């Protein structure tokens, strides 16, 4: 299936911004002989907010896990600032500037908010105070509640803590897996606002979302995955108005 704005066209411009993350024809899967990604490609330039949408089972979360070293890559490559990071373990990737916020089980419930943030800075403990100041500037509600246990927080509040913990290492790129999942409509709006604020603070962000319309409304560029491949790519506005994307995907994905 051909897309409306192939990524290759955008990537070869002489004035294109530096790419922070690149996936090059990645084939990956969890079980021997079973591939979830079948030649998926993606680029994220410095400061971009990238949205990944598609039907269930298309490989959206697997794409993030491939970047973060949590799924076996059988061919292709993942690059971070031009460096090949294919297959590196998660702790090495965190040290190199990759932050990841999973959809579930993304906080330590028995620890306080402050202790969760300390866990996020475990590789750079001397930077803790500076990074806490940054995180609480993005999420001011956390500043007053650092002593509260994360297990007592609502789903939306836990998302703030999880994002904040991932930001403690001052990442080059932040990977977000379904940040609005399980939240009420009003809380979903708050989640998307938080994602926008993180991105506006200068953090390159790659977000997987089931709320396709809302995702495309805030992202700079989007990718539509289908059967482990990027079927369509373009700006968020282009994808929102593409008849093929509307007919095939937006009718069944997300809310108006």
Q: In what order do the strands lie in the sheet with 19-29?
A: 37-45, 19-29, 72-80, 83-84
Range of the domain at 152: 48-69+88-250
Nearest to 101 by CA among 9, 172, 176, 152: 176
**What is the per-residue pLDDT for 30?**
94
What's the predicted TM-score (pTM) here? Answer: 0.89
Taking the C-alpha atoms of residue 22 and residue 44, their distance in angstroms, rounded to an integer, is 7
Number of domains in the chain: 1
Nearest to 239 by CA among 255, 231, 72: 231
Whether residue 3 lies inside any domain: the answer is no
pLDDT in tens, 163-221: 999 999 999 999 999 999 888 888 889 999 999 999 999 999 999 999 999 999 999 99
Whether residue 138 lies inside any domain: the answer is yes
Whether residue 39 lies inside any domain: the answer is no
8 Å CB contact between 174 and 167: yes
Q: Is the pLDDT reported for residue 256 higher than 80?
A: no
pLDDT bin (cut points 50, 70, 90) of residue 38 is very high
**What is the per-residue pLDDT for 48?**
97
* 3-state secondary structure labels for all residues of the chain: CCCCCCHHHHHCCCCCCCEEEEEEEEEEECECCECCEEEEEEEEECCCEEEEECCCCCCHHHHHHHHCCCCEEEEEEEEECCEECCCCCHHHHHHHCEEEECCCCCCCCCCEHHHHHHHHCCCCHHHHHHHHHHHHHHCHHHHCCCCCEHHHCCHHHHHHHHHHHHHCCCCCEEEEECCCCCCCHHHHHHHHHHHHHHHHCCCEEEEECCCHHHHHHHCCEEEEEECCEEEEEEEHHHHHCCHHHHHHHHCCCCCC
Taking the C-alpha atoms of residue 195 and residue 180, their distance in angstroms, rounded to an integer, is 10
Mean pLDDT of 151-157: 91
Residue length of the chain: 256
pLDDT in tens, 76-131: 999 999 999 999 999 999 999 999 999 888 999 999 999 999 999 999 999 999 99
Taking the C-alpha atoms of residue 204 and residue 172, their distance in angstroms, rounded to an integer, is 6
**What is the per-residue pLDDT for 50?**
98
**What is the per-residue pLDDT for 252?**
60
Whether residue 36 lies inside any domain: the answer is no
Whether residue 244 lies inside any domain: the answer is yes
Structure tokens at 174: 């932040």
Taking the C-alpha atoms of residue 73 and residue 23, their distance in angstroms, rounded to an integer, is 11
Nearest to 72 by CA among 61, 57, 88: 88
Whether residue 121 lies inside any domain: the answer is yes
**What is the per-residue pLDDT for 125?**
92
Whether residue 176 lies inside any domain: the answer is yes
Domain with residue 169: its CATH number is: 3.40.50.300
**What is the per-residue pLDDT for 3?**
55
For the chain, give the mean pLDDT.
Answer: 90
Whether residue 217 lies inside any domain: the answer is yes
pLDDT in tens, 132-144: 999 999 999 999 9
pLDDT bin (cut points 50, 70, 90) of residue 46 is very high
């Amino acid at each position: 299936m051909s897309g409306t704005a192939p990524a290759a066209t955008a990537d070869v411009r002489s004035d294109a911004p530096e790419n922070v993350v690149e996936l090059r024809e990645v084939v990956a899967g969890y079980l021997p002989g079973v591939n979830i990604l079948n030649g998926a490609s993606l680029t994220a330039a410095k400061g971009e907010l990238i949205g990944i949408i598609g039907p269930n089972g298309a490989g959206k979360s697997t794409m993030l896990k491939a970047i973060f070293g949590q799924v076996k890559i059988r061919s292709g490559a993942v690059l971070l600032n031009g460096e090949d990071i294919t297959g590196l373990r998660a702790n090495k990737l965190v040290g190199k500037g990759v932050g990841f916020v999973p959809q579930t089980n993304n906080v330590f419930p028995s620890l306080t908010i402050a202790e969760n943030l300390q866990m996020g800075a475990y590789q750079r403990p001397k930077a803790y105070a500076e990074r806490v100041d940054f995180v609480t500037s993005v999420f001011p509600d956390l500043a007053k509640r650092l002593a509260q246990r994360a297990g007592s927080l609502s789903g939306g509040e836990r998302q703030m803590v999880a994002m904040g913990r991932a930001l403690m290492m001052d990442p080059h790129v932040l990977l977000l897996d379904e940040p609005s999942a399980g939240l009420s409509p009003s809380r979903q709006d708050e989640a998307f606002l938080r994602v926008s604020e993180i991105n506006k603070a200068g953090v390159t962000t790659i977000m997987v979302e089931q709320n396709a319309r809302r995702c495309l409304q805030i992202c700079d560029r989007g990718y539509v995955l289908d059967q482990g491949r990027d079927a369509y790519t373009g700006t968020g506005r282009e994808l929102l108005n593409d008849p093929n994307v509307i007919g095939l995907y937006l009718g069944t994905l997300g809310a108006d």
